[in-house]
C-alpha cells in the first residue's frame, strides 16, 4: 500500500477538495451564526414558528460544520477554525440586528443558494477525483437543502 495514499485518493486532488471544503466551512459558520441571531432577535406575529425554525436550522448547520471539518481531516487537510478565517473566507455576509421575520427568511433563502452553488461545485470536483465519501456527503446536502430552499420560497411567496 502506498503510504502517501492512505485512503487511496490522489494527494493533489485531496488538497484541492480540502480547499473547497474549507470555503464551504466558512459559509456554514457565518450562516449558522446569522441564524442564531435570527433565532434570538426575531419579533412579530410569527415569532414562535420562526424562533423554532431557526433553532432547527442552526442545529443542523452545526452538525454539517462538524461533518465538513472532519471530512477535511479525513482527506489529510486542516480545517479552518478561527472566526477570522471564517469571516474572511465566506461569501455569505455576516448580518446583525435582524428583527423582521421575512427579512430573516429571505437571508436564509439566499444563504442556502450560496451553499448549494458551493456544494454542486464540490460534487463535480469529487467526480474527477473519484472521492465517493465527499460526493455522498455533498449529494445528501444538496438534496436536503434544495427542498428547504423550496420551502423558504413558498413561505416568502
Ligand atoms: Fe434558544
Question: CA separation (Å) from 32 to 38, 97, 132?
Answer: 10, 15, 26
Which run of H or E residues covers position 71? helix 47-74
**Mean pLDDT, the chain, integer:** 96
pLDDT score of 1 more than 60: no
Q: What separation in Å is there between the alpha carbon of 86 and the centre of ligand 1?
A: 23
**pLDDT of the residue at 4:** 66
Q: What separation in Å is there between the alpha carbon of 55 and the centre of ligand 1?
A: 7
Distance CA 23, CA 19 (A): 6
Q: How many CB atoms lie within 10 A of CB 144?
A: 13
Burial class for 24, CB neighbours closer than 10 Å (0-12, 13-18, 19+): buried
**pLDDT of the residue at 2:** 67
**pLDDT of the residue at 107:** 98
Interval 32-59: pLDDT, tens: 999 999 999 999 999 999 999 999 999 9
pLDDT score of 3 more than 70: no
Interval 59-97: pLDDT, tens: 999 999 999 999 999 999 999 999 999 999 999 999 999
Q: What separation in Å is there between the alpha carbon of 40 and the centre of ligand 1?
A: 7
**pLDDT of the residue at 134:** 98
Hey, what domains does the chain have and what are their CATH numbers?
11-156 (1.20.1260.10)
Q: What separation in Å is there between the alpha carbon of 156 and the centre of ligand 1?
A: 23
Q: What separation in Å is there between the alpha carbon of 8 and the centre of ligand 1?
A: 43
Cell numbers representing residue 109 in the block = 433563502
Mean pLDDT computed over 122-127: 96
The predicted model scores a pTM of 0.95
Dihedral of alpha carbons 51, 55, 147, 145, sign: positive
**pLDDT of the residue at 6:** 79
pLDDT bracket for residue 132 (50, 70, 90): very high
**pLDDT of the residue at 8:** 87
Q: What separation in Å is there between the alpha carbon of 46 and the centre of ligand 1?
A: 16
Q: What separation in Å is there between the alpha carbon of 76 and the centre of ligand 1?
A: 35
Q: What separation in Å is there between the alpha carbon of 45 and the centre of ligand 1?
A: 18
Q: What separation in Å is there between the alpha carbon of 84 and the centre of ligand 1?
A: 25
Amino acid at each position: 500500500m502506498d503510504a502517501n495514499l492512505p485512503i487511496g485518493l490522489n494527494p493533489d486532488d485531496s488538497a484541492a477538495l480540502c480547499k473547497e471544503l474549507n470555503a464551504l466551512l466558512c459559509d456554514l459558520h457565518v450562516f449558522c451564526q446569522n441564524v442564531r441571531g435570527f433565532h434570538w432577535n426575531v419579533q412579530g406575529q410569527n415569532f414562535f414558528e420562526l424562533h423554532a425554525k431557526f433553532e432547527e436550522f442552526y442545529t443542523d448547520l452545526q452538525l454539517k460544520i462538524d461533518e465538513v471539518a472532519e471530512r477535511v481531516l479525513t482527506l489529510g487537510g486542516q480545517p479552518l477554525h478561527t472566526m477570522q478565517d471564517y469571516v474572511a473566507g465566506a461569501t455569505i455576509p455576516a448580518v446583525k440586528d435582524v428583527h423582521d421575520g421575512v427579512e430573516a427568511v429571505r437571508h436564509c433563502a439566499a444563504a442556502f443558494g450560496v451553499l448549494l452553488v458551493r456544494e454542486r461545485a464540490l460534487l463535480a470536483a469529487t467526480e474527477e477525483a473519484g472521492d465517493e465519501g465527499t460526493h455522498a456527503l455533498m449529494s445528501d446536502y444538496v438534496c436536503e437543502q434544495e427542498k428547504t430552499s423550496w420551502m423558504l420560497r413558498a413561505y416568502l411567496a
